Structures are given as structure tokens and as C-alpha cells.
């Protein structure tokens, strides 16, 4: 949602996961990002990365991060390219289970520097690593598929089961984090304030990039 503005912050988070978790697969990374943002939303009213998660067959996925890592698609505004290239390397290996298919792993590069994150954000990332870092991708998918989860609600509400079964593993259905705070007026105010501030700064930043193009 605010990728250009928060690219370095997102890169910092992704690199930290890769630095702390050996053999971090793309699927596992995507699930850890979701769990991090969902938890932050529940606790503070604002996610850490502000990535947009879509309801896919194997759980919530930040599609733009998936497309960049899996297919090399990167955001360009004016002459500026936004990517995770300064934070991670991509390692592609042939799948031992599925002939002709590859498995994608994330490798951290550079110093695991968390100075741009708040104390709360650092603590949360490390808590997520401690709680979920030893789970494999399949276990994380099962965890996020539990009845009552936001993914499960989205699939039921938009009848995505049939789509997944007959057509494709993806969808354009966006996971709505606001459901997590609908009964907490203070967190709703925090969410609105943060969104408006980021929207304003994102517009200024993108206008500057376009002017310098």
C-alpha cells in the first residue's frame, strides 16, 4: 500500500527474518510477514509493513512481495526503482519433491540493522521468530487456515473455495485487518491517524519522484 515510502522498512524486516531463520523459504517468509502485521494491528491498530495481503489458496499473501521474489517484478516510480535487492538475495533450487519445479529461499545480505524500527517493532519481530520460526511452511499455512481466522472468513464470505478448486490458487480478495479492531475505538483512531499520515507523505514522496524523473 505504501511500498515506495516504506521500502527500506520492509527490507529491514525481511532481512531480519532471513538473518535469524536458517533456510527461510519464500512461502514461510510470506506467512511470517502476515503474522507480524496481523499481530501489530491487533495490539496497536497499525501494521508494521502496511503490505496488502490477498486471500490465496495457501493463505494470506503480500502479492507484490511474492511477485518480486518469485518473478522479479519491481516497482518503478519516475526513475526510482524500489526493491529488496539491498537486503536479500534469492536462492533458487530444484524441488526434490516436484520435478521441474523450483523452491525459493531468502538469504540476508548486509548488516542485520534494526535501527530504523521502534523498540516495539523489534520486540514483536523477535517474538514472532521465537514463536513461529521453527514451524515449517505447511504448519504455518495450517495455522492461518484455522476456522475463525481472517483468511478463513474471507474465503467463506467470497466463496473462494470453488475458485481454488476449479480455477486458480490466487484471488484478488484483500484481507481486511480492520475486522481485528472493529470493537476498539482507540485502536480505530490510531489506525485512521496512521493511515492518513502515511497517505499524505506517500503522495508528497511520489510527486517528488515524478518531478525528478
Task: Provide the pairing of β-strand 75-77 with 80-82.
Answer: antiparallel
Q: How far is it, in rounded angstroms, from Cα 191 to Cα 187?
A: 6
Q: What pLDDT, on the 0 to 100 scale, is given for residue 102?
A: 84
Residue 105, all three cell numbers:
529461499
Kindly write down the DSSP assignment for every residue of 155-167, as one continuous string: HHHTTHHHHHHHT
Provide the 8-state DSSP code for 109: -
Mean pLDDT within 36-58: 96
pTM (predicted TM-score): 0.94
Per-residue CA distances from 72 to 41, 53, 176 (Å): 29, 19, 27
93 phi, psi to nearest 5 deg: -125, 150
Whether the predicted pLDDT of 99 surpasses 90: no
Give pLDDT tens digits for 115-153. 999 999 999 999 999 999 999 999 999 999 999 999 999
Q: What pLDDT, on the 0 to 100 scale, is given for residue 163?
A: 87
**CA dihedral of residues 51, 55, 58, 61 (deg, nearest 10):** -10
Whether the predicted pLDDT of 167 surpasses 90: no
Q: What pLDDT, on the 0 to 100 scale, is given for residue 78?
A: 79
- Provide the domain count of the chain: 1
Residues 6+ apart with CB under 8 A from 6: 49, 50, 198
Q: How far is it, in rounded angstroms, from Cα 154 to Cα 87?
A: 32
Contact between 42 and 181 (Cβ < 8 Å) = yes
- Domain interval for residue 134: 3-211
Q: 94: pLDDT confidence band, cut at 50, 70 and 90?
A: confident
Q: What is Dmax (Cα atoms) for the chain?
A: 52
Q: What pLDDT, on the 0 to 100 scale, is given for residue 149?
A: 94
Q: 213: pLDDT confidence band, cut at 50, 70 and 90?
A: low
Residues 6+ apart with CB under 8 A from 144: 31, 34, 35, 59, 60, 151
Give pLDDT tens digits for 176-209. 999 999 999 999 999 999 999 999 999 998 888 8
Q: In the chain, what percentage of residues exceed pLDDT 90?
A: 83
Amino acid at each position: 500500500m505504501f511500498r515506495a515510502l516504506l521500502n527500506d522498512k520492509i527490507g529491514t524486516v525481511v532481512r531480519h527474518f532471513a538473518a535469524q531463520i536458517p533456510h527461510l523459504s519464500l512461502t514461510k517468509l510470506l506467512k511470517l510477514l502476515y503474522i507480524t502485521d496481523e499481530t501489530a494491528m491487533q495490539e496497536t491498530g497499525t501494521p508494521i509493513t502496511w503490505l496488502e495481503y490477498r486471500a490465496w489458496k495457501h493463505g494470506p499473501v503480500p502479492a507484490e512481495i511474492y511477485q518480486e521474489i518469485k518473478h522479479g517484478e519491481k516497482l518503478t516510480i519516475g526513475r526510482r526503482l524500489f526493491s529488496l535487492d539491498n537486503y536479500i538475495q534469492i536462492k533458487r533450487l530444484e524441488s526434490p519433491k516436484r520435478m521441474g519445479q523450483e523452491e525459493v529461499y531468502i538469504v540476508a545480505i548486509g548488516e542485520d540493522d534494526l535501527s530504523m524500527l521502534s523498540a516495539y517493532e523489534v520486540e514483536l519481530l523477535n517474538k514472532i521468530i521465537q514463536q513461529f520460526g521453527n514451524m515449517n511452511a505447511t504448519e504455518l499455512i495450517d495455522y492461518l487456515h484455522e476456522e475463525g481466522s481472517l483468511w478463513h472468513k474471507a474465503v467463506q464470505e467470497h466463496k473462494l473455495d470453488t475458485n481454488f478448486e476449479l480455477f486458480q490458487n490466487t484471488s484478488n480478495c484483500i484481507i481486511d485487518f480492520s475486522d481485528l479492531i472493529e470493537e476498539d475505538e482507540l485502536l480505530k483512531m490510531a489506525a485512521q491517524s496512521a493511515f492518513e499520515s502515511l497517505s499524505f507523505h506517500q503522495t508528497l514522496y511520489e510527486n517528488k519522484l515524478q518531478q525528478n524523473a
